[in-house]
Amino acid sequence: MKKFIINSSLTIIALMLVTPAFAQTATTPTGSVDQIVSFIQSIVQVLITLAGTVAVGFFVWGGFGYITSTGHPENLDRSKKTILYSAVGLAVVLGAFVLSGIVSQLATTAFGSH
């Protein structure tokens, strides 16, 4: 019985000496969530610019092939597909841009701005 009281007393004292762990705020060691959001937005903007440039290049390539097909149905179909696929790619890129804007706005709202 004496051993039980000593062990219980030591356990209670040990638990009283433990410092509590508090939840961490939504900040990074050097800044806030806004810095992370702006970093991701700048990366997305660079990628969208590159993708837009590539899409315009394929539009030009398809248009040039369309003009110079000179009645060959194979070349005409290939040029039409090039223009169509570049338009679809550009639509996907613009959709990604809109989606990243929505996600960054939701992240800023959810984690707050500091």
Give the separation between CA 20 and CA 5, rounded to whole angstroms: 25
Residue 99, pLDDT score: 86
pLDDT tens by residue, the chain, 114 residues:
778 777 777 777 766 666 666 655 555 555 666 777 778 888 888 888 898 899 889 999 999 999 998 888 899 999 999 999 999 988 988 888 888 888 878 877 777 654
CB 96 within 8 A of CB 44: yes
Nearest-10 Cα torsion for 69, 75, 80, 82: -110
Phi, psi of 32 (to 5 degrees): -120, -175
Token digits of residue 86 = 């570049």
Largest CA distance in the chain: 104
Indicate yes or no: pTM above 0.75: no
SS3 27: strand
**Buried-state track 38-75, b at ≥16 Cβ within 10 A, e below 16:** eeeeeebeeebeebeeebeebeeebeebeeebeeeeee
